[in-house]
């Protein structure tokens, strides 16, 4: 911001998938460090961000733990554990660096992440896709956009809702998969409208 050619008056942050978790982590860390830029954030847009985690990562973690219990499955379990730390953060939507302080990422059961509220004072918009037409069915709750279940893309809270837990605006894109959110014409039109 110091190197920008004109004074920065407003910031908009847009993140796809894990990028939405990066937005939340950066805003929290910057607030803790006393940086002033979070006060300039007017809008945060989360495109298929797994606020409450991704079912696929939880399934891979569970499969690895089960394979470890069988002598003939240990080698396969080790292969499954080769996922990056960032992918392991997707299990429960971890955004705080201390989320793995009490237990390593491959521990069973895995620890739940700390509750990090959304940035206060900013408008938060979630764009959530579902493979099917509905957002309230079993398919949306389990598969969502193939990688992120609908409830995870629209609500960051793991527990009883508290102030700052709920994304203010939600846009549902039916019959759309996770990667299509990146160049979907409706997403572009909505983002332009939010930022205008």
- Half-sphere exposure of residue 121, counting CA atoms within 13 Å on the CB side? 11
Tens-place pLDDT, residues 110-147: 667 777 888 988 999 999 999 999 988 888 888 899 98
Whole-number pLDDT of residue 52: 82
Give pLDDT, residue 2: 81
Residue 86's pLDDT is what? 67
**Euclidean distance between CA atoms 12 and 27, whole angstroms:** 12
Whether 75 shows a pLDDT value over 80: the answer reads yes
**Residue with the larger pLDDT of the pair 83 and 186:** 186
- Please determine, for residue 162, whether its predicted confidence score (pLDDT) is greater than 60: no
DSSP string, the chain: -TTSSS----EEEEEETHHHHHHHHHHHHHHHHT-SGGGGEEEEEEES--TT--HHHHHHHHHHHHHHTSGGGHHHHHHHTTS-HHHHHTTTT--SGGGGSSS-TT-SSPPPPP--PPPTTSEEEEEEEESSS-SSSHHHHHTTTSSS-HHHHH---SSS--TT-S-SEEEEEET--TGGGGS-HHHHHHHHHHH-
The pTM of the full predicted model, rounded to 2 decimals, is 0.82
Whether 193 shows a pLDDT value over 70: the answer reads yes
Res 176: pLDDT:
96
pLDDT of residue 44: 94
pLDDT digits (tens, 9 = 90+) for 53-64: 777 777 777 788
C-alpha of 38 from chain center: 19
């Amino acid at each position: 911001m110091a190197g920008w050619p004109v004074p920065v008056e407003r910031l908009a942050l847009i993140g796809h998938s894990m990028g939405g978790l990066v937005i939340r982590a950066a805003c929290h860390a910057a607030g803790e460090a006393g940086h002033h830029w979070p006060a300039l954030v007017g809008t945060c847009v989360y495109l298929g961000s797994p606020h409450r985690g991704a079912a696929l990562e939880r399934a891979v973690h569970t499969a690895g733990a089960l394979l470890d219990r069988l002598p003939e499955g240990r080698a396969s379990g080790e292969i499954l554990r080769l996922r990056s730390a960032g992918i392991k953060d997707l299990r429960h939507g971890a955004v705080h660096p201390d989320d793995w302080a009490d237990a390593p990422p491959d521990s069973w059961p895995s620890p739940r992440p700390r509750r990090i509220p959304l940035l206060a004072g900013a408008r938060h918009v979630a764009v959530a896709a579902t493979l099917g037409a509905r957002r309230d069915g079993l398919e949306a709750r389990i598969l969502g956009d193939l990688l992120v279940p609908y409830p995870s893309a629209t609500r960051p809270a793991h527990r009883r809702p508290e102030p700052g837990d709920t994304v203010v605006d939600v846009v549902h894109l039916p019959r759309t998969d996770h990667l299509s959110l990146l160049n979907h014409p409706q997403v572009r039109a909505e983002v332009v409208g939010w930022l205008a």
